[in-house]
Amino acid sequence: MSKPRIGLAALSATNSANSTLVAAVNRAYVDAVASAGGLPYLLPVQDCADAADVLAGVDGLLLCGGVDIDPSQYGAAGGPDIGEIDPQRDVWELALARCARAARLPLLGVCRGEQLLNVSAGGTLVRDVPTATGMNHRDTERSHQVVHDIWVEPDSLVAEVCESVHIGVNTLHHQAVERLGAGLRAVAWASDSTIEAIESTGDWLAIGVQWHPELLVGLDEGSAHRALFSWLVACAHGRRLHALPSRSSEVASHANATVLSGVPLAGRAEPGSEMERRQAS
């Protein structure tokens, strides 16, 4: 059995050498997925009508970080508090998120990816966190360091995956989840009450985190961040084996026996755990 294929939603950028348009992701995402036992597949911006067919070729989806989401996508107007936007990427990735939900494709959203997951379900965003709470959440000089702590709901999938209710994170954003989308719940917060993680409330295996775990996987204290990618790959592998696993314990047992041998599997569902309760419903 080949390794699970993880689709990485790519941004469109201009090659400074020859001014041609390229599809790209930060290499840290590629390395984090590969280190967890997955095969990274780049998914460039395409016609949103093709989203379902594109996702049929992968076993899991990673929504990566990037620029602000066009506020019109959550019913708001533009303004000086909105940074750079990429409307074409927004439309494409919203289609990916909605198709992933319909197909129950395992999903991990990072920073913008968490926000997009929320918007895809009808949620809204805090337009500028420093204005709303007075706390700066964008520290680009310490992108590979722990900047502040977050508190995680003990009875949550994120706590189970990361094996902790207190996680040290970096912080590279100025927006955040505000009103939650349908079928999602907030499960982690910063000291100013900014939402730092969300997850699906149903049988869809989906997590969104506001920080950038791909930049912290190399730290000695990076186990919680590595665990998020191990979880995604484990869930994707279970889907690859069974098309659509009915229980997360099946995902964990099969992934642990084959692809993820030797890789910490923080996504294992123990009897009575949050993952098992959700998947048994």
- Per residue in 206-234, pLDDT (tens digit) is 999 999 999 999 999 899 999 999 999 99
Return the higher-pLDDT residue of 206 and 264.
Answer: 206
Please pick, among 173, 174, 212, 254, the residue that the annotation labels catalytic.
212
The pLDDT of 243-260, averaged and rounded, is 38
Please pick, among 111, 114, 196, 274, the residue that the annotation labels catalytic.
111
178 is catalytic: no
Question: Above 90 in pLDDT, residue 262?
Answer: no
- Residue 55 sits in a domain whose CATH number is 3.40.50.880
pLDDT at 13 (0 to 100):
84
**How many domains does the chain contain in total?**
1
Please pick, among 93, 114, 214, 276, the residue that the annotation labels catalytic.
214
Question: Above 80 in pLDDT, residue 82?
Answer: yes
48 is catalytic: no
| Alpha-carbon gap, residue 252 to 234, rounded angstroms | 6
- Per residue in 25-59, pLDDT (tens digit) is 999 999 999 999 999 999 999 999 999 999 999 99
**Cα dihedral sign for 78, 10, 29, 118?**
positive
Contacts of residue 160, defined as CB under 8 A and 6 or more positions apart, other chains included, come to 266, 269, 273, 274, 275
**Structural domain harbouring 43:** 5-280
pLDDT at 268 (0 to 100):
36
Its pTM stands at 0.86
- Per residue in 131-180, pLDDT (tens digit) is 989 988 888 899 899 999 999 999 999 999 999 999 999 999 999 999 99
Question: In the structure, what pLDDT confidence band is assigned to residue 1 with cuts at 50, 70 and 90?
Answer: low
| Mean pLDDT, rounded, of the chain | 87
- Name the burial class of residue 177, with classes exposed (0-12), middle (13-18) and buried (19+) by CB atoms within 10 angstroms of its CB: buried
